[in-house]
C-alpha cells in the first residue's frame, strides 16, 4: 500500500519534522554530515547505499534547507554538502535518539562518546556539559571511540577517521 | 528498490534506534501514546491510517519493548497499549524533534505548548524547567493548546481532548 512521504492531516511539529527527516537513511546522512562528511563518494562509502537513494536524500535535504550544496571544484564540476544552521540544530534530536538507542539497544556498549572539546567533559544525553554548566552546540563537540567500537572492521574513510578523537563538523575527506 | 527496515553495517546507536522507530507513522504512534491514547480505535481515528498499518506498527513497538499490550476487557477480548519505561524515555527525542520542526517548519506558530505540571513553567526544548532547575520527565508534563491550533478543525476524541490543558499519559478514551 502506498504511504507517501507526507503526513497530511497530522499538522503537528513532529509530523512536519518527519516529513523532512523520516525517510529511510535521511537521518544517517545528517549524522554523517555532523561528523564532517561532505562529499558524495564519502557518504556513499560510509552508508553503503545505492547512489540513486543517496542522491535523492541529499537533494531533499538541500530543498528542505538542512544541507547547503557548495561547488568546491570547477573542472570537472564537483559539489559538497554542508549543514546549514537549521541542519546543525538537529544535533539535539540526533543525540537524544542515539542515546536512547545506546541505553536500550546497544549490545556491546557505546561505540561513540561525545565530549565538550573545551574541557573534555563527557556530555549528557541533552548535550549539557556539567563542568561548564551549559548546553553544548554541535560546533563544540568532540566524538571519541567508545568500547563498542572494538568490533568495528570497516575500512572506509569515515570509519577510519572516527577511530581517533574527531571534532564534529571538521571535514572528513 | 527494496530498502529493508534494518541498517546492516550501520552498527551505530542512531541506526539501532531508527530500526525500531524509523518506519513511517511509528513515531506518531509513540507521540499519541505519550498523550495518553491507549486503544486501537482511538489511535486509528487520530492518525487516520489503514488498520493494517496501525496493527503492524503497534505489534512492532510491543516486540521492541516500547509499548506493553494489556487486556482491559475479556468479553469480547480487548487490549490496550501503554508505554513502557523504555518507551517513556522517548520523550526527549520526540520533544527535540518536535521543537526543531516547530522552530523551522511551523507556519502558524506552535500548536502544542509543554509546561511543568508542578509549577506551570513552560519547558525548554530539552524538557528543562527553569523554575525548578531540573529536567522534567514525561510523567510531569502538561500539554496545552498553542496559537497554531486555531486552524484545527478535527473532531476525533484525541484532537478534542488536546484543545484544553491535558497531563501527558493521562488516558484519553
pLDDT at B3 over 60: no
- Separation between Cα atoms, residue B152 and residue A11, nearest integer Å: 8
Cell numbers for A65: 534547507
- Separation between Cα atoms, residue A86 and residue A84, nearest integer Å: 5
Q: Could you read off the pLDDT of A57-71 as tens digits, one per residue?
A: 999 999 999 999 999
- Return the pLDDT at B151: 73
- Return the pLDDT at A110: 85
Of A45-59, B30-44, B148-162, which gets the smallest average pLDDT?
A: B148-162
- A106 vs B13, B52, B125: nearest CB: B13
Nearest-neighbour CA in chain B from A122: distance (Å): 17
pLDDT confidence tier of residue B1, bands split at 50, 70 and 90: very low
- Separation between Cα atoms, residue A147 and residue A144, nearest integer Å: 10
Cell numbers for B91: 520523550
Mean pLDDT score across all residues of chain A: 92
Q: What percent of chain B has pLDDT over 70?
A: 96
With CB atoms and an 8 Å threshold, state whether A92 touches B10. no
Cβ(A149)–Cβ(A133) below 8 Å: no
Interchain contact B9–A (C-beta under 8 A):
yes
Q: Which of A3, A31, A101 to mutate to test the interface with B (most CBs of B within 10 A)?
A: A101
The verdict on whether omega for the bond into residue A62 sits within 30 degrees of 0, i.e. cis, is: no
- Domains of chain B (ranges plus CATH)? 13-86 (1.10.10.10), 91-167 (no CATH)
Torsion of CA A170, A121, A133, A96, to 10 degrees: 70
Cβ(B143)–Cβ(B114) below 8 Å: yes
- Indicate left, alpha or beta for A110 from its phi (over 0: left) and psi (-120 to 50: alpha): beta
Chain A residue with Cα closest to B153: A9
Q: Could you read off the pLDDT of A68-94 as tens digits, one per residue?
A: 999 999 999 999 999 999 999 999 999
Q: Could you read off the pLDDT of A6-40 as tens digits, one per residue?
A: 787 776 899 999 999 999 999 999 999 999 999 99
Interchain contact B40–A (C-beta under 8 A):
no
- DSSP secondary structure letter of residue B13: H
- Confidence (pTM): 0.93
The residue behind cell 561505540 is A111
Count of alpha carbons within 13 angstroms of residue B35, beta-carbon side: 29
- Crossing angle between the packed helical segments A51-64 and A26-35, to the nearest 10 degrees: 80
Compute the average pLDDT of residues B10-27: 91
With CB atoms and an 8 Å threshold, state whether B98 touches A14. yes
Q: What percent of chain A has pLDDT over 70?
A: 96
Q: Could you read off the pLDDT of B93-130 as tens digits, one per residue?
A: 999 999 999 999 977 788 899 999 999 999 998 999 99
Interchain contact B104–A (C-beta under 8 A):
yes
pLDDT at B2 over 50: no
Residue among A152, A169, A157 at smallest CA distance from A43: A157
Chain A residue with Cα closest to B156: A9
Interchain contact B48–A (C-beta under 8 A):
yes
pLDDT at A3 over 90: no
pLDDT confidence tier of residue B4, bands split at 50, 70 and 90: low
Phi and psi angles of residue A8, each rounded to the nearest 5 degrees, phi first: -60, 140
Which residues in chain B are closer than 8 Å to A105, comparing Cβ atoms? 13, 16-17, 19-20
Q: Could you read off the pLDDT of B126-147 as tens digits, one per residue?
A: 999 999 999 999 999 999 999 8
Q: Could you read off the pLDDT of B32-82 as tens digits, one per residue?
A: 999 999 999 999 999 999 999 999 999 999 999 999 999 999 999 999 999
Beta-strand runs (E) in A33-140: 67-73, 78-83, 112-116, 128-129, 134-135
Interchain contact A102–B (C-beta under 8 A):
yes
Residue B166's alpha-carbon distances to A28, B34, B35, B169, in angstroms, are 34, 11, 8, 9
The residue behind cell 559538497 is A80
Interchain contact A9–B (C-beta under 8 A):
yes
pLDDT at A1 over 70: no
Sign of CA dihedral A35, A38, A44, A45: negative
ipTM: 0.92
With CB atoms and an 8 Å threshold, state whether A97 touches B21. yes
Residue B108's alpha-carbon distances to A12, A74, B111, B148, in angstroms, are 11, 42, 8, 5
The residue behind cell 563544540 is A140
- Separation between Cα atoms, residue B109 and residue A167, nearest integer Å: 35
Highest mean pLDDT pick, A99-103, A136-140, A152-156: A136-140
Amino acid at each position: 500500500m502506498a504511504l507517501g512521504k507526507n503526513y497530511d492531516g497530522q499538522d503537528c511539529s513532529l509530523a512536519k519534522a518527519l516529513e523532512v527527516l523520516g525517510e529511510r537513511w535521511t537521518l544517517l546522512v545528517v549524522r554523517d554530515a555532523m561528523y564532517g562528511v561532505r562529499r558524495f563518494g564519502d557518504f556513499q562509502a560510509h552508508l553503503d547505499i545505492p547512489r540513486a537513494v543517496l542522491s535523492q536524500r541529499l537533494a531533499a535535504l538541500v530543498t528542505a534547507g538542512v544541507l547547503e550544496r557548495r561547488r568546491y571544484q570547477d573542472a570537472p564540476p564537483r559539489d559538497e554538502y554542508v549543514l546549514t544552521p537549521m541542519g546543525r540544530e538537529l544535533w539535539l534530536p540526533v543525540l537524544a535518539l542515539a542515546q536512547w538507542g545506546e541505553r536500550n539497544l546497544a549490545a556491546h556498549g557505546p561505540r561513540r562518546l561525545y565530549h565538550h572539546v573545551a574541557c573534555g567533559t563527557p556530555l549528557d544525553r541533552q548535550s549539557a556539559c556539567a563542568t561548564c554548566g551549559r548546553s553544548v552546540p554541535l560546533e563544540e563537540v568532540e566524538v571519541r571511540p567508545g568500547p563498542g567500537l572494538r568490533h568495528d572492521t570497516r575500512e572506509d574513510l569515515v570509519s577510519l577517521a572516527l577511530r581517533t578523537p574527531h571534532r564534529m563538523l571538521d571535514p572528513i575527506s
